[in-house]
């Protein structure tokens, strides 16, 4: 079958392309915002990419067009598909029909941490010989691809609450029918899709309605919104994970959580020693252990597997150290994520200076939904450099005036890089935060730092 994927460079759709190709289909796709790591992954897998949405790419007509949720009415390819009567399907529906039926699906949902937790879960099952399939919204370093068919009955999927397609406004995860569900946390996000928290709760409630009676929900203890969703109705077993007062708990053995103990019902379950750090990653590992327990793994086995886990790209990823100046790439695009990343880095580097560089790129951030929390999110940074996009609808300087003494705002990325190179000194930790390409600022900075040596 010839399949053409519209919006193929999205993390979900790119993974779906790999699965379709592995099933033996001829796969091509198009997008308008092509950048690594997804574009690189697709090219390495031999999947043809077309820049833009000229309908000529749909001639001759493919057997099936898979539509990404970023495309809507008015898009040239969408209008052509409708006029020509081409067979269209959403990505989540294709995934369910071709990959998930008959599988034990382990889904990881939540506002934060789902990519890393899904990668940890897939890796744990892989190390223990269960041969899982997976589709993750990022590229785990251990396996080098974001999706794989797998050889067993288990399939791990990152369960995104974003909408499905222009013709299906339900959340993607409603399609997945999981037997094991992790809910890492719930906060307001995706303001371009959801009017308020009630709308998000409703979608999570619909997801929970799909869990069988003998299924398992692994939920973050003490999360007010998670508890509110469960209170709307729950027909499955629930196990909670957290720092205290939960079945699954974590006890730090090092301040940076590079070593910690997992306890189950108050009893020792396993000790984790790994290359990752930060409390948020320890919580992700804890959720992984609880979910893996549902398919027979012990927490000790999970600790053993994750001892060799390499994180997903762009999750506080160390890129390079030049003249004792370290540069990190981080996907953080929400105040909670910014706080968690800076807390983790601070726990690792102690009093060394942290310079945070951030682009308010997500739809929610651009709408100013989190502007009141933004300044406080940078409390643990010593210097903060913010990029102000031309189309930002709110006053970035005013919103961050409380940290003006350590904050600079730039409307030009080259000026930002120049200022960063000028201020950087030995021992500094530079963390660049964006959920997009950020005008390739990472590589440009590295090149200028190298040139200044």
Please report which confidence band the pLDDT of residue 191 belongs to, taking 50, 70 and 90 as the band edges.
low
- The first and second tokens of residue 20, run together, are 């379709």
* 412 pLDDT higher than 70: yes
pLDDT tens digits along 226-239: 999 999 999 999 99
How high is the pLDDT of residue 333?
A: 76
Please report which confidence band the pLDDT of residue 36 belongs to, taking 50, 70 and 90 as the band edges.
low
- The first and second tokens of residue 253, run together, are 């053995």
Distances (CA, A) of 432 to 236, 349, 437: 41, 16, 11
d(CA 22, CA 226): 36
* 334 pLDDT higher than 70: yes
* Angle between helix 114-127 and 299-306 (nearest 10): 100
Of 45-49, 64-68, 267-271, 305-309, which range is least confident? 45-49
Please report which confidence band the pLDDT of residue 152 belongs to, taking 50, 70 and 90 as the band edges.
confident
How do 64-67 and 133-135 pair as beta strands?
A: unpaired
Mean pLDDT throughout 326-354? 90
Mean pLDDT throughout 294-299? 96
Mean pLDDT throughout 36-59? 85
How high is the pLDDT of residue 294?
A: 97
Provide the mean pLDDT of the chain: 92
**Are 279 and 285 within 8 A, CB to CB?**
no
Contacts of 190 (CB under 8 A, 6+ apart): 161, 162, 200, 363, 364
- Select, from the ranges 32-46, 273-287, 325-339, 360-374, the one with the highest average predicted confidence (pLDDT): 273-287
* 285 pLDDT higher than 90: yes
Distances (CA, A) of 433 to 264, 304, 328, 362: 35, 31, 9, 11
- The first and second tokens of residue 85, run together, are 């009567």
Mean pLDDT throughout 355-380? 87
How high is the pLDDT of residue 35?
A: 63
Contacts of 120 (CB under 8 A, 6+ apart): 284, 285, 288, 306, 309
Distances (CA, A) of 108 to 155, 267, 333: 11, 25, 19
Angle CA 228–234–240, to nearest 5: 70
For the chain, give the percent of residues with pLDDT over 90.
Answer: 75
**Are 272 and 261 within 8 A, CB to CB?**
yes
pLDDT tens digits along 111-148: 888 999 999 999 999 999 999 999 998 888 888 888 99
pTM, two decimal places: 0.89
Look at 275 and 39; give whichever has higher pLDDT.
Answer: 275
* Torsion angle of C-alpha atoms 412, 414, 417, 421, degrees rounded to 10: -130
Determine phi and psi for 358, rounding to 5 degrees: -135, 140
Of 120-124, 194-198, 374-378, which range is least confident? 194-198
Task: Please report how many Cα atoms fall inside a 13 Å half-sphere around the Cα of residue 265, on the Cβ side.
Answer: 0
How high is the pLDDT of residue 325?
A: 94
How high is the pLDDT of residue 143?
A: 85
What domains does the chain contain, in order, with CATH numbers?
2-89 (3.40.50.720), 102-306 (3.40.1190.10), 317-451 (3.90.190.20)
How high is the pLDDT of residue 365?
A: 80
Candidates 81, 85, 59; CA nearest to 6 is: 81
């Amino acid at each position: 079958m010839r399949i053409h994927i519209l919006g193929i460079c999205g993390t979900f759709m790119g993974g779906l392309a790999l699965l379709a190709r592995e099933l033996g289909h001829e796969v091509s796709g198009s997008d308008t915002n092509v950048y690594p790591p997804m574009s690189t992954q697709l090219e390495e897998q031999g999947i043809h990419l077309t820049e833009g949405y000229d309908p000529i790419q749909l001639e001759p007509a493919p057997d099936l067009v898979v539509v990404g949720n970023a495309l809507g009415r008015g898009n040239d390819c969408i209008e052509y598909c409708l006029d020509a009567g081409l067979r269209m399907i959403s990505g989540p529906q294709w995934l369910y029909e071709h990959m998930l039926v008959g599988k034990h699906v382990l889904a990881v949902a939540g506002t934060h941490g789902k990519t890393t937790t899904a990668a940890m879960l897939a890796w744990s099952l892989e190390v223990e010989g269960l041969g899982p399939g997976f589709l993750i919204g990022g590229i785990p370093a251990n396996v080098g691809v974001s999706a794989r068919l797998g050889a067993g009955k288990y399939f791990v999927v990152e369960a995104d609450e974003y909408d499905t397609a222009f013709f299906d406004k339900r959340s993607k995860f409603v399609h997945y029918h999981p037997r094991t569900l992790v809910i890492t946390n719930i906060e307001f996000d995706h303001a371009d899709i959801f009017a308020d928290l009630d709308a998000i709760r409703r979608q999570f409630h619909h997801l929970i309605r799909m869990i069988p009676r003998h299924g398992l929900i692994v939920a973050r203890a003490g999360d007010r919104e998670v508890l509110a969703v469960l209170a709307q109705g729950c027909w499955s077993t629930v196990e909670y994970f957290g720092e205290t007062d939960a079945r699954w708990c974590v006890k730090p053995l090092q301040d940076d959580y590079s070593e910690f103990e997992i306890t189950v019902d108050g009893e020792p379950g396993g000790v984790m020693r790994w290359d990752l750090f930060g409390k948020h990653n320890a919580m992700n590992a804890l959720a992984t252990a609880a979910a893996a327990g549902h398919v027979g793994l012990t927490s000790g086995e999970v600790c053993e597997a994750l001892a060799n886990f390499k994180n997903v790209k762009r999750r506080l990823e160390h890129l390079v150290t030049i003249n004792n100046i370290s540069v990190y790439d981080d996907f953080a695009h929400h105040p909670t994520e910014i706080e968690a990343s800076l807390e983790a880095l601070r726990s690792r580097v102690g009093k060394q200076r942290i310079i945070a560089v951030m682009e308010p790129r997500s739809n929610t951030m651009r709408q100013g939904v989190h502007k009141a929390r933004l300044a406080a999110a940078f409390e643990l940074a010593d210097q903060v450099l913010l990029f102000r996009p031309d189309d930002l609808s709110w006053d970035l300087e005013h919103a961050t005036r409380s940290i003006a003494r350590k904050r600079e705002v730039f409307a030009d990325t080259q000026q930002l890089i120049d200022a960063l190179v000028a201020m950087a000194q030995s021992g500094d930790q530079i963390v660049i935060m964006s959920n997009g390409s950020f005008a390739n600022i990472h590589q440009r900075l590295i090149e200028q730092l190298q040139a200044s040596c």
